[in-house]
A = this chain, B = another copy of it.
């Protein structure tokens, strides 16, 4: 065989092409899970998989796979993957880089006439972002057995749609049972989505663990009343109580140098009228911490605050758990392989914790797993200004290629 080489033009070209699918009139990229735009993106990726000589397979939750048997049908496949669904007004690299980077690695190996000792599968998991349907990382969660496929397919979205119906509508409800390909190991290439690598001048992140995530929806019930005639002391203002929770979370996690992060991303008031005291406020709380004990402590502190607030403000408060994942530790052996590959290519590498949730945390339930990060300019992501230098995108794919070669070597 010849020495396999990453085709930078092909990789960057596909990232650009996929990033052009799902733009609105103002050029904003939004490719929510199981939407028409997601369907168009999936069709493009499946086409490239076939172009690379891979067999395209879809499971019941819509996870899309490109499989290269490589004449080693009996061995468990090495899986490379991520997702192609996006948040609202997104960048083009989040998730897509892992799918198209994995595809580029397999295509490079095939074109070089490589004979891997095991099949290699490229995976695009359904609904990783969780914007339209909760929980996030749903496709890989179902694939790893953490959530029943029927329950997942019945999930109702923020727009009232049902995931199963939407997957069928866009033609990506496949026949295979989630988990049908049992991986030997799982690797995910991803942009950091944080500022650490750039700040420290590192090109490659060898991700050794991942933060725990707690998602909750809080509903506060107060009393609608007239904004002009109701004395402040007699108000039961659900909107004001919600604001107190937002400032409480910020003040608490900002103190000292706790690694906990807390975000209130969704907020709505009812009746949402300028001259009516809000009778109802609904908002989400996203809590993350690499340490499970500390994450639990933050959840408990929130519950205590909500109890005090309900008492003090005369409001009712109910909490619904939307998602909860413990911190994950990746495979130490694969993390070392990533460091070695980066070192041999003269790329400054740093071990790190992933602040974001990724499909790799679900796949780690099934097999040894790890992630490779590349720098995000300014640490910005989930934003159209998300950017990674082309040279870094190519370097990450080259490190992945080398790790894949090591993990698919035959005996001797």
A381 and B266 contacting across the interface, CB-CB below 8 Å: no
Q: How far is it, in angstroms, between the C-alpha of A279 and the C-alpha of B357 when the chains are bound?
A: 21
Q: Which of A220-259 contact B (CB under 8 A)?
A: 223-234, 237, 239-240, 242-244, 246-247, 250, 253-254
Q: How far is the CA of A273 from the CA of B86 in the complex (A)?
A: 11
Instruction: Determine the chain B residues whose CB is within 8 A of the CB of A134 once the complex forms.
Output: 274
Given A130-B275, A274-B215, A277-B265, residue A194 in contact with residue B230 (CB < 8 A) = yes
CA separation between A354 and B244, bound complex, in Å? 30
**Contact of A382 (CB < 8 Å), options: B224, B322, B379:** B224
Within 8 A of B (CB), among A374-395: 379-383
* Cβ–Cβ < 8 Å partners of A228 in chain B: 193, 211, 213, 261, 286, 288, 354-357
Nearest neighbor of A215 in chain B, beta-carbon distance: B274
Cβ of A107 under 8 Å from chain B = no
Give A258 Cβ to nearest chain B Cβ, in Å. Answer: 9
A87 with B275: CB separation less than 8 A: yes
Residues of the B chain whose Cβ atoms lie less than 8 Å from the Cβ of A356 = 226, 228-229
Q: How far is the CB of A400 from chain B (nearest CB, A)?
A: 20
Interface membership of A272, Cβ < 8 A: yes
Determine the chain B residues whose CB is within 8 A of the CB of A266 once the complex forms.
269, 272-274
- Which residue of B87, B274, B286 contacts A284 across the interface (Cβ within 8 Å)? B274
Q: Once the chains are docked, how many angstroms separate the CA of A89 from the CA of B278?
A: 12
- Min CB–CB distance A305 → chain B (angstroms): 14
A277→B367 CA distance, assembly (Å): 32
Query: B271 to A226, Cβ gap below 8 A?
Result: no
- Asked whether, in the complex, the Cβ of B240 is within 8 Å of the Cβ of A250, the reply is yes
Chain B neighbourhood of A195, CB < 8 A: 229-231, 234
Contact between A232 and B254, CB atoms less than 8 A apart: yes
Q: Are A286 and B279 in contact (CB under 8 A)?
A: no
Instruction: Please pick, from B242, B253, B265, B355, the residue contacting A274 in the complex, using a CB distance under 8 A.
Output: B265
Q: Are A225 and B380 in contact (CB under 8 A)?
A: yes
**A87 with B271: CB separation less than 8 A:** yes
Using A226-B382, A233-B254, A357-B228 as known contacts, say yes or no to A269 and B267 having CB atoms under 8 A apart: yes
Is A40 close to B, CB under 8 A? no
Provide the bound-state CA to CA distance between A383 and B230, in Å. Answer: 12
- Does A263 have its Cβ within 8 Å of any Cβ on chain B? yes
* Besides A265-B274, A275-B286, 14 other A-B contacts (C-beta < 8 A): A88-B273, A89-B224, A195-B230, A195-B234, A225-B379, A226-B382, A227-B286, A228-B354, A229-B354, A230-B379, A243-B246, A263-B276, A267-B267, A276-B382
Chain A residues in the interface with B (C-beta under 8 A)? 87-89, 129-131, 134, 136, 192-195, 211, 213, 215, 223-234, 237, 239-240, 242-244, 246-247, 250, 253-254, 261-269, 271-279, 281, 284, 286, 288, 322, 354-357, 379-383
